[in-house]
Structures are given as C-alpha cells and as structure tokens.
Amino acid sequence: MEFLIDRLPLYLSGAGTTLLITLLGAVLAFALAMVVGVMGTLRNPVARAIATGYTETFRGVAALVLMYWMAFAIPQLVPYKIDALFAAVLALGLNVGAYGAEVVRAAINAVPKAQVEATIALSMSWWRRMRAVVLPQAWAQMLPTFGNLVIELMKATAIVSLIGVSDLTRVAQEQRASTGETVAAFTGALIAYFLIAQLLIVGMRLLERRANRRLGRPVATGFLALLRPPPATATGGGRR
C-alpha cells in the first residue's frame, strides 16, 4: 500500500495517458463508425463497397500489428515519422471504428420501416430523415454496444507500452523492474484500469439514460443504477 501511495503521481500520470489515448481513439472510432455505418445503409453500390472494404479490412488486422506498422513501417516508406501516441490512436481508432460501423449499420436498419414511411409522407429530405428521425432512434440502440467497445478500446490501449509511451502498463512495468515489487506494481495497474473502466461505464450509462428519456421511455434514476446493467428495453423506436 505504501509502495503505491509513494508512487501515486507516477500511476496517475500513466492513467492520464491511458485515458487520453482512449478518448482520442474513441473520437476517431466514433467518427469512422458513423460515416462508414451510414454509408453501409445507402443504395449506392460504390458507397456500400467502400464501407464493406473498410470494415472487413480493419476488423481483420490486429491493432498491435497495425500500430507497429504505423510506427515503424511508415517511416521506411515515406519520409515522415508518426508520433508513437498518434500511431496508437490511429491503430485503435481504425480497428474499433470497423466494429462500430457494423453497430451503426445494424441500428439504422433496425429503425422500423414505418418511421421512414412517415418521413416520406412529410416529404422530408434524406439528410433531414437521417438527422431528425433515423439517427436519434438508432442512437439509443447503438449506445449499449458502444459502451462495450469503449471499454475494449481502453483495455487495448496497453499496447502503446510496447512502443515507449508511458501509459499505465508501462509505468507498472518500470516500477516492477526498478523495485522488484511485482505484486504491488501490477496490482496498482489493475486497480487503476478498473477505476477508469467504471468511469467510462458511468459516462456511457448517462448517455443511455438521456437517449431513452428523449424517446419517452422510462429510465432508472439514481447513481447506483448507473453501475448496474440497465433492464432490457424494447428495441427500435416502433410503437404498436
């Protein structure tokens, strides 16, 4: 315990780096997931082919190898060196974005056809239909899966420790190496990862609550409910 209290600033700085890579990776993954996911629902065959190409490619490569490739292979190919942290964000964002795109595509397709018909009856444009009706309803359906993806992304950020970024894992390894206190060094990292995960879970549940409230669905209230999985709600925005 004393070991960890003495090294709290080190662990906090490592946790900060882990959180930073998580958030940057999540922003990139989210942007890719939305754009590619929507493209996957279009009738245009070119757009669909690009979407499929992206998801199949980046679902199939290991984020670690992709990061190595960005950090070490790219400087050999072009006279440009990608910063280690940035290489990790790119690799994780591209990888998780591919999973996210499938989630977005499935959620959009799950919006009842009757909702789309109502937008046609109101002569809404494609853009307005997406923006005002389809995406807000699909959003509530995407969020639970997005929550899982963010946690997966956060845990996967440990790969940056292998290219010299001082994240939580790297801090733990360095402390173990310099002190020989293996149990304390890694227990500290485990606790920190767990706490970051809880933080992300609470954040995602808050978003879910807001999304469900906007659809007029009942939502659990109170802080403790944020830590428990929400009860299964009817999916889709369809009303009978």
Partner 1 sequence: MPQSDPRTSTGTHEPLIRFDQVVKRFGSLTVLDRLDFTVDAGERVTLIGPSGSGKTTILRLLMTLEQVTSGVIWVGGEPLSHRYQGDRLVRANEKHQRRVRKQIGMVFQQFNLFPNMTVRQNITEGPIHSLGISREEADQRARELLEMVDLSDKIDAHPAHLSGGQQQRVAIARALAMRPKILLLDEVTSALDPELVTGVLDVLRTVAETTDITMLLVTHEMQFARDVSHRVLMFDHGRIVEEGPPEQIFGDPKEERTKAFLHAVLD
Binding site for partner 1 (CB under 8 A): 114-115, 117-118, 120-125, 128, 132-133, 136-137, 214-217, 237, 239-240
Nearer to partner 1, 28 or 211 (CB): 211
Q: How far is the CB of 86 from partner 1 (least distance, A)?
A: 37
- Tokens standing for 232? 């299964």
Contact of 86 with 28, CB cutoff 8 Å: no
φ/ψ (deg, to 5) at 7: -100, 15
Q: How far is the CB of 208 from partner 1 (least distance, A)?
A: 14
Q: Which is nearer to partner 1, 182 or 235 (CB)?
A: 235
Distance from C-alpha of 187 to C-alpha of 1, rounded to nearest angstrom: 10
CB of 214 to partner 1, least distance (A): 6
The nearer residue to partner 1, 1 or 120, going by C-beta atoms, is 120
**CA Rg value for the chain:** 21
Smallest distance, partner 1 to C-beta of residue 139, A: 8
Question: Measured between alpha carbons, how far is residue 13 from residues 20, 111, 135, 192 in Å?
Answer: 10, 43, 37, 11
Question: What minimum distance in Å lies between the beta carbon of 138 and partner 1?
Answer: 10
Q: How many CA atoms lie within 13 A of 100 on its CB side?
A: 28
Q: Which is nearer to partner 1, 213 or 228 (CB)?
A: 213
Question: Which stretch of DSSP H or E encloses residue 181?
Answer: none
Q: Which is nearer to partner 1, 16 or 236 (CB)?
A: 236
Contact 95, 21 (CB under 8 A): no
